Amino acid sequence: MIASNFLTNKAKAYDSISYSGKLSHKGSQGAGCVTPITVRGLTIGYGSKAVLKDADFEVRTGEVLAIIGPNGAGKSTLLKTLAAQLPLLGGQISLMGSDIRKLRPEDIARSLSLFLTDRPSTEWMTCRELVSAGRYPYTGRLGLLSEADWSIVDASMEKMGAADLSDIPFNNISDGQKQRVLLARALCQEPNVLLLDEPASFLDIRFQLELVSTLKNLAHCDNLAIVVTLHELDLVRRAADRVICLRDGRVDRIGTVDSILTNHYMEQLYGLPAGSL
């Protein structure tokens, strides 16, 4: 019964966190020659209601791209659409050079990882068991890991500073530790692209700064393409290479951190009184 519950919860943990696939070392093997994500004329939303129209941008290898904008601008919707968790209402998304609508879920899973703030159901699961769910794109629903798979799991936990949490139940660790474990799960899936939705939520300042350092290292050292939604503009300034701004149902501006995060433009973007920043 315990084994059955473990497999059931492991499948739920995979489904609730994301797709994911090949990572860090792949960038150094030539994956960086292809633009990880290209968006052209993209319209997104729920049902027939569009929240963002005619978006055009690229996600590049080795960079952190931050998505910012007021509440309701479509930041999370955009991230979930990039991960193929929501259907496109118009336009095109290319993932590693292929139309995402023509890719099988397992193909998407081997190139892209989506990190959500939702906590997975982890009854009976240790941190190591949760991280091992990241190998699902390669092992199937039964989750039969090889020795090589477990080596990737352990290496990912070590990389994220979570090796000492391996045998501890996931429900028994702090929010900051949970973020490290979930990032380790994403890494052991070996993606080219890592998408993160509000990863700084629930974290105190220490763990927020630790997260910033982690994202920069994954992009600049491991050659990942990273897209992250953030509300904290100070973290955007610290973490991002480029920023995409959403407002009034469109991409309002894309640029470097210094060109975007000016007091004047932030007042415009968030509808603040002139001179309030």
What is the per-residue pLDDT across 71-92, written as a single tens digit (0 to 9) for each? 999 999 999 999 999 999 999 9
* CA dist., res. 33 & res. 130, Å (int): 32
Q: How far apart are CA 69 and CA 83, in angstroms?
A: 20
Query: CB under 8 Å to 264, separation ≥6 — which residues?
Result: none
pLDDT of residue 98: 97
| pTM given for the model | 0.85
d(CA 137, CA 23): 13
**Residue 36: CB partners within 8 Å, gap ≥ 6?**
59, 60, 61, 95, 96, 111, 192, 193, 225
Confidence of residue 203 (pLDDT cuts 50, 70, 90): confident
223-277 pLDDT tens trace = 999 999 999 999 999 999 999 999 999 999 999 999 999 999 999 999 999 988 8
- pLDDT tens readout for residues 4-50: 333 334 444 443 333 333 333 354 434 447 899 999 999 999 988 99
Look at residue 29 in the predicted model and tell me its pLDDT.
39
Distance CA 233, CA 189 (A): 29
DSSP-derived letter for residue 127 is: H
Dist. CA 207–CA 227, nearest whole Å? 19
Read off the DSSP letter of residue 119. P
